[in-house]
C-alpha cells in the first residue's frame, strides 16, 4: 500500500469492497474509500483506531492538510480513518452522471434507499476487522455522522470502544414534520441575529430578492435563481462565520450597466457556488429520508411545513415592510428544477418522497442499557440539529455525557482546533 506525507502526517489510501445491500451479501458490491492519517513520528506504532464520520448526508470526509482542526489532537494517540461514506467523495459516486446506469427513476430510488445511516454502519462493521484486526474503535461523528454513531450504538456496540458526537444527536422517534416544525423557528432566530449584527442587510436582501422576482436570472452554472433559492443562502447562518460570509455575499451585489442595475458577475458566481448541489447531490436526494422511520412518506416535509410559517414567504415580505427571512437546511421540490445537477433526478426524488417502507433506525431499549463510553457536544440553539431533541436523546442513552455550549456553532469541532475533541475525550474517560 502506497503512502504519502503532509507536514507531520503520513497518509495512506484504503479502498474496500462492500455489499450494496448487506442483506444480500452475494449481490452487487460498491467501493468505499478511506484516508488513513497517522502522526509521522508514530507511523509504525501499534495505535488504536479512530473512525471519523462526516456530516451530511452526502458529503465525503473533509480533507485536512497536515494537523489542521481536531486532527492534531487525534493523532496524539490514534490512527485515524477519514471514511467517505457510501456514495460520497471517492467512494462509488452517485450523481446525475452515474445514476442512469442503474436504470430508470424507480431503480434509482430503490438504490438510494440503501444510503442511510443503517447501511453506513453496516459498512463500518464490514471494514473494521480489516483495519483493526477485530478490535473495537473510537468513532467521532460530526452532525449526520453523529446520527450514524447513535445507529452504531443501537445495533453494533461491540464494535465501539468510545463514541464522540459533535452537533449530531438525532431525535430517536421524531418524524420529518416534527424536525422541520422545530427547525423553522430556530432559523428565524438566526436570521434575526444576523440582521441585528448587520442591519444594512435588511434592505439589501429585499432589493436583491425583488430583482430576482422580476428578472428570474440564470446563474453561470445554469442554476435558475428564484426568491426561494436566494432565501436558501441562510444555510450559511448555522456556522461560526456564516453570518459574516452572508453579509459579504450581499454586499455590493449590484453593478450599474448601460441597461440599469444588474446582479454583478462576481455575486452570481458566488451564489452559484453556494447553492449548487453538484458536489453533493446525495444531500438533496436523501436528506429527508434520514429522518424517516415508519410507513409514512416524507412527502416533501420541509416544503409542507414551511406553509405553516407564512413569515418565510418572500412575496409576502416584499408586499409588506417585514424583513425577508432566509431559510436553512431544508430541501424542496424546486431544488430539482432550479439546479442543473439535480434536474435529471427530479422523478427519482419524487419516488423517494413517496416511499413508505422506511425501517426504524434506533433501538431505545439497547441505548438504555448502553455500556460504551459516549460524550456529545451539544451546541446551544444549533440551527441544524434541535437542541431539545438532542438533549432528549442524551437522556435516553445510558451513560452519555453532554457538554452544552453556546461558544460554538455547528462547526465547533472544526473551528476550535483541539479543544472540542479534547473536551469530549476527557468527558468520555471520566477525567472531567
Pairing relationship of beta strands 254-257 and 160-166 according to DSSP bridges: unpaired
Taking only the tens place, the pLDDT of each residue in 190-205 is 999 999 999 999 999 9
**Active-site residue, selected from the candidate residues 84, 335, 410, 411:** 410
Does residue 211 carry a catalytic annotation? no
Q: What is the mean pLDDT of residues 221-249?
A: 98
Does residue 26 carry a catalytic annotation? no
Taking only the tens place, the pLDDT of each residue in 362-386 is 999 999 999 999 999 999 999 999 9
CB contact at 8 A, 311 and 322? yes
Q: What is the mean pLDDT of residues 107-136?
A: 98
pLDDT of residue 73: 98
CATH architecture assignment, domain 3-173+362-428 = 3-Layer(aba) Sandwich (3.40)
Does residue 357 carry a catalytic annotation? yes
Distance CA(193)–CA(406), nearest Å, equals 14
Nearest to 190 by CA among 236, 247, 143: 236
Taking only the tens place, the pLDDT of each residue in 38-85 is 999 999 999 999 999 999 999 999 999 999 999 999 999 999 999 999
Burial 322-337 (b: 16+ CB within 10 A, else e): ebbbbbbbbbbebbbe
Q: What is the mean pLDDT of residues 294-322?
A: 95
Q: State residue 160 phi and psi, 5-degree precision.
A: -115, 130
Partners of 375 in the β-ladder: 164, 401
Sheet containing strand 29-39, edge to edge, reads 3-6, 9-19, 29-39, 79-84, 49-53, 137-142, 160-166, 374-379, 401-405
pLDDT of residue 2: 78
pLDDT of residue 44: 94
pLDDT of residue 176: 98
Q: What is the mean pLDDT of the chain?
A: 97
Distance CA(161)–CA(145), nearest Å, equals 16
What residue spans define the domains of the chain?
3-173+362-428, 176-354
Alpha helices in 198-328 (DSSP H): 200-215, 227-231, 242-250, 265-275, 281-286, 301-306, 314-319
pLDDT of residue 222: 98
- What is the rounded (10 degree) CA torsion for 403, 404, 406, 409? 70
Taking only the tens place, the pLDDT of each residue in 85-102 is 999 999 999 999 999 999
Judging by beta carbons within 10 Å of its beta carbon (0-12, 13-18, 19+), is residue 260 exposed, middle or buried?
exposed
Q: How many CA atoms lie within 13 Å of 314's alpha carbon, on the beta-carbon side?
A: 19
Q: What is the CA radius of gyration of the chain?
A: 22
Distance CA(319)–CA(146), nearest Å, equals 42
Taking only the tens place, the pLDDT of each residue in 245-279 is 999 999 989 999 998 899 999 999 999 999 999 99
Does the pLDDT of residue 1 top 80, yes or no?
no
Where are any strands of DSSP class E within 115-246? 137-142, 160-166
**Active-site residue, selected from the candidate residues 91, 117, 143, 232:** 143
**Residue 50: other Cβ atoms inside 10 A:** 24
Amino acid at each position: 500500500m502506497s503512502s504519502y506525507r503532509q507536514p507531520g502526517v503520513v497518509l495512506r489510501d484504503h479502498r474496500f469492497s462492500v455489499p450494496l445491500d448487506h442483506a444480500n451479501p452475494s449481490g452487487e458490491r460498491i467501493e468505499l474509500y478511506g484516508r488513513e492519517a497517522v502522526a509521522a513520528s508514530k507511523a509504525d506504532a501499534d495505535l488504536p483506531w479512530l473512525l471519523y464520520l462526516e456530516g451530511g448526508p452526502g458529503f465525503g470526509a473533509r480533507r485536512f492538510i497536515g494537523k489542521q482542526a481536531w486532527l492534531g489532537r487525534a493523532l496524539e494517540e490514534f490512527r485515524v480513518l477519514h471514511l467517505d461514506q457510501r456514495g460520497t467523495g471517492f467512494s462509488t459516486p452517485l450523481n446525475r452522471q452515474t445514476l442512469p446506469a442503474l436504470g430508470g427513476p424507480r431503480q434509482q430510488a430503490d438504490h438510494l434507499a440503501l444510503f442511510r445511516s443503517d447501511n453506513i454502519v453496516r459498512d463500518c462493521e464490514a471494514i473494521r476487522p480489516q483495519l483493526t484486526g477485530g478490535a473495537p474503535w473510537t468513532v467521532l461523528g460530526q452532525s449526520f455522522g453523529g446520527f450514524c454513531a447513535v445507529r452504531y450504538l443501537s445495533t453494533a456496540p461491540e464494535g465501539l470502544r468510545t463514541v464522540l458526537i459533535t452537533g449530531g444527536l438525532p431525535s430517536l422517534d421524531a418524524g420529518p414534520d416534527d424536525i422541520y416544525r422545530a427547525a423553522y423557528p430556530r432559523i428565524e432566530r438566526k436570521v434575526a441575529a444576523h440582521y441585528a449584527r448587520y442591519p444594512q442587510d435588511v434592505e439589501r436582501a429585499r432589493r436583491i430578492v425583488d430583482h430576482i422576482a422580476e428578472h428570474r436570472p440564470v446563474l453561470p452554472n445554469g442554476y435558475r435563481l428564484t426568491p426561494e433559492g436566494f432565501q436558501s443562502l441562510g444555510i450559511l447562518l448555522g456556522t461560526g462565520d456564516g453570518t459574516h460570509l452572508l453579509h459579504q455575499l450581499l454586499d455590493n451585489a449590484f453593478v450599474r450597466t448601460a441597461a440599469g442595475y444588474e446582479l454583478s458577475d462576481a455575486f452570481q458566481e458566488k451564489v452559484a457556488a453556494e447553492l449548487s448541489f453538484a458536489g453533493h447531490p446525495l444531500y438533496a436526494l436523501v436528506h429527508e429520508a434520514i429522518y424517516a422511520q415508519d410507513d409514512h412518506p416524507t412527502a416533501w416535509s420541509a416544503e409542507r411545513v414551511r406553509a405553516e410559517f407564512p413569515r418565510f414567504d418572500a412575496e409576502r415580505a416584499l408586499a409588506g415592510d417585514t424583513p425577508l427571512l432566509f431559510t436553512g437546511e431544508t430541501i424542496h421540490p424546486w431544488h430539482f428544477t432550479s439546479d442543473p445537477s439535480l434536474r435529471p433526478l427530479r422523478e427519482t426524488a419524487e419516488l423517494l418522497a413517496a416511499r413508505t417502507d422506511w425501517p426504524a433506525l434506533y433501538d431505545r431499549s439497547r441505548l438504555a442499557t448502553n455500556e460504551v463510553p459516549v460524550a456529545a457536544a451539544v451546541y446551544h440553539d444549533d440551527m441544524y440539529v434541535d437542541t431539545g431533541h438532542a438533549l432528549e436523546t442524551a437522556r435516553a442513552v445510558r451513560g452519555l455525557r453532554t457538554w452544552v455550549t453556546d461558544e460554538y456553532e455547528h462547526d465547533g469541532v472544526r473551528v476550535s482546533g483541539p479543544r472540542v475533541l479534547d473536551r469530549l475525550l476527557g468527558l468520555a474517560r471520566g477525567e472531567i
